[in-house]
Structure 1
Amino acid sequence: SEREGQRNRDKERQKESERDRSRHRERTREKQREREREVQLWFVIYGCFTSLVF
């Protein structure tokens, strides 16, 4: 039954890596959202600035 235990350990490891992957995906999505927010903020600032100047 040593093989059985090995198979269970492999399954556990697979679950762990899948969890890590999904966590990584979440983090990447959050970073993208932050970047988009920064870009929008810059557009707003730029728009206000240009409307003040011109």
Structure 2
Amino acid sequence: MFTEVQILVAQIRVELERLRNDDRGYSTEAVVVTALLVSLALAAVAVLAVKAIQKANSINL
């Protein structure tokens, strides 16, 4: 019985260590968040560019 408990404890320790060091999903998450932020920034620049061009075209010399 004691051997089975030792094996179980060893397996739990290995699994906990694996979970503690598991960062596979972080890079995918970071890429998605970065892509969303870049697309928002591009949309903001596009809106500002349209507004600036409209304002420049409305100036009479």
TM-score by length of 1: 0.70
Partner of residue 33, structure 2: 24
Residue 17 of structure 1 and its aligned partner are, at CA, apart by: 2.0
- Whole-Å Cα distance in 2 between the matches of residues 15 and 36 of structure 1? 33
Gaps of 5+ in 2: 1-9
TM-score for both structures, normalised by structure 2: 0.64
Percent of aligned pairs with the same amino acid: 2
Cα offset for 1:22? 1.2
Name the one with the larger helix percent: 1
Any gaps of 5 or more consecutive residues in structure 1? none
Counterpart of 1:37, as a letter, is A
The residue type paired with residue 36 of structure 2 is: R
Of structures 1 and 2, the larger Rg is shown by 2
Count of residues in correspondence between the two structures: 48
Q: Select between 42-51 and 26-35 the one with higher mean Cα deviation.
A: 42-51
